[in-house]
Chains A and B, each alone.
Chain A
């Protein structure tokens, strides 16, 4: 399949007042094919979230290019839908109104946007909770609301920054299954930012391993586990092999990150 997303030589340096500049990303190159499920994994401080913000159009001042279908994008793009790590549902809107939000912004009439919103609410398994407010939902349900809201925007690329990072492991695995169902149903391109190795292996076609600061791509591991896939795959020996391989790659980077963080604390 043709590449839908191309990240070309992307670098980003943060210049904080009074501090020395921090190079978060250094020459990242990555191509993602249409319909592919790719995870980006790395230790804290590897620039995952910076890369997420650059692809999502939330950071403009970076070096290099982000191209969709060969065209450079600048700022938020209709083809890229974003799901955030933090709680991002609007507390004052019901599930239905949250999911319908991007359609409301596009000026679609109420009946049509509610019909579309209901379709995606059903897809994420929240049927019956349309009139509930976020405060009445569990953490997993809130994140599914956020996923449905992004799906309602009908982007070609779903960009997710540790969307289930705040959830417990079991809920996270079950929601991983749900994401695989959605991916199979909509055939979207999925780009997941995560620090969870099992989640990356469970879901992805390829896992991109990033180094500790400055973030560069250390290795790309194709995951050749059979599809359709569910969380039951974690019981297989092959799954364990992938997890072991990824941890071997990440261990050195994570240790470097931890040592640097401790040195920084000791210096203060």
Chain B
């Protein structure tokens, strides 16, 4: 890791630590009610009991796995659909607005319908997680391909580049940053939906723990489970960042 990369990580961790210390002081001085926000130290200390009582690590991997499966499905649907909308301009113009509108609707509220269709199982989580993930991926894939510089395409044409190589060696690398913006947005919405449905139907991973701890008024444990959700989110954000860097180093 170069200095350029280390500094933001150190600054980020320092900022997080500083916020935790400030929050600790705020709770200690009574500026924040302990019943609403626990001390960060209490949250950290609740991890062992949460692991013992609720298998935190196991449920962390359940949520992570559900998010990974739903994201994989979202990619399988979103990327080709975005490409289709790019290739067929009329469909792209016709459907992009509808997709954007669908993306802004709280699909999570349709969970009773999905429970009826798929039952109270992982499939409901995966399908409901996949829908809000696939939409931004499709939109951004289309936008990324539309945004490929005409000059770069002309460079390809001037070198007699085949259609296949034009896509692989020019269009795709050119569109990668925009597509990955869609993937990052998609995976975050997928995670939010999965945790929300776990919470609502009391099934699955971290969302279920948050729900149960909240119902028990176990505030530090509730926050500890939320921290675990943040770790899932960080994992995907970091992971897709690595993949993007691998596909397009600069």
Closest to B162 in A: A105
Set of chain A residues within 8 Å of B170, measured between Cβ atoms: 90
Find residues 71-91 in chain A having any chain B CB closer than 8 Å to their own CB.
75-76, 78, 80-82, 84, 86-88, 90-91
Find residues 108-161 in chain A having any chain B CB closer than 8 Å to their own CB.
133, 135, 150, 153
Bitwise, A89-110 to B at CB < 8 A (1) or not (0) is 0111000000001101100000
Interface pair B158/A82, CB less than 8 Å apart: yes
Interface pair A57/B249, CB less than 8 Å apart: no
Set of chain A residues within 8 Å of B51, measured between Cβ atoms: none
Contact of B250 among A57, A75, A92, A153 (CB under 8 A): A92
Interface pair B157/A133, CB less than 8 Å apart: no
Find residues 44-67 in chain A having any chain B CB closer than 8 Å to their own CB.
56-58
Bitwise, B16-40 to A at CB < 8 A (1) or not (0) is 0000000000000000000000000
Interface pair A76/B159, CB less than 8 Å apart: yes
Interface pair B152/A90, CB less than 8 Å apart: yes
Set of chain B residues within 8 Å of A92, measured between Cβ atoms: 173-174, 176, 248-250
Set of chain A residues within 8 Å of B155, measured between Cβ atoms: 82, 84, 88, 90
Interface pair B159/A90, CB less than 8 Å apart: no
Bitwise, B155-177 to A at CB < 8 A (1) or not (0) is 10111110001000110011010
Interface pair B151/A105, CB less than 8 Å apart: no
Q: How far is the CA of A43 from the CA of B95 in the complex (A)?
A: 42
Interface pair A84/B173, CB less than 8 Å apart: no
Interface pair B157/A57, CB less than 8 Å apart: yes
Bitwise, B214-246 to A at CB < 8 A (1) or not (0) is 000000000000000000000000000000000
Set of chain B residues within 8 Å of A90, measured between Cβ atoms: 152, 155, 170, 173-174
Q: How far is the CA of A83 from the CA of B154 in the complex (A)?
A: 10
Label chain A's interface by main secondary structure.
loop
Set of chain A residues within 8 Å of B248, measured between Cβ atoms: 92
Interface pair A133/B250, CB less than 8 Å apart: yes
Interface pair B250/A135, CB less than 8 Å apart: yes
Interface pair B152/A81, CB less than 8 Å apart: no
Contact of B160 among A78, A87, A91, A150 (CB under 8 A): A78
Q: How far is the CA of A105 from the CA of B158 in the complex (A)?
A: 12
Set of chain B residues within 8 Å of A104, measured between Cβ atoms: 169
Interface pair A91/B250, CB less than 8 Å apart: yes
Contact of A84 among B151, B160, B174, B249 (CB under 8 A): B151
Set of chain B residues within 8 Å of A86, measured between Cβ atoms: 149, 151
Interface pair A105/B160, CB less than 8 Å apart: yes
Q: How far is the CA of A82 from the CA of B198 in the complex (A)?
A: 58
Interface pair B158/A56, CB less than 8 Å apart: yes
Closest to A153 in B: B159
Closest to A104 in B: B169
Most A CB within 10 A of own CB, among B158, B173, B249: B158
Q: How far is the CA of A92 from the CA of B159 in the complex (A)?
A: 18
- Knowing A84-B151, A133-B250 are in contact, say whether A105-B157 is a contact too (CB < 8 A): no
A-B contacts, 9 listed (Cβ < 8 Å): A75-B160, A76-B158, A81-B158, A82-B154, A88-B155, A90-B155, A90-B170, A90-B173, A92-B176
Interchain residue pairs A-B with the least CB separation, the first 5: A82-B158, A86-B151, A133-B250, A102-B159, A92-B248
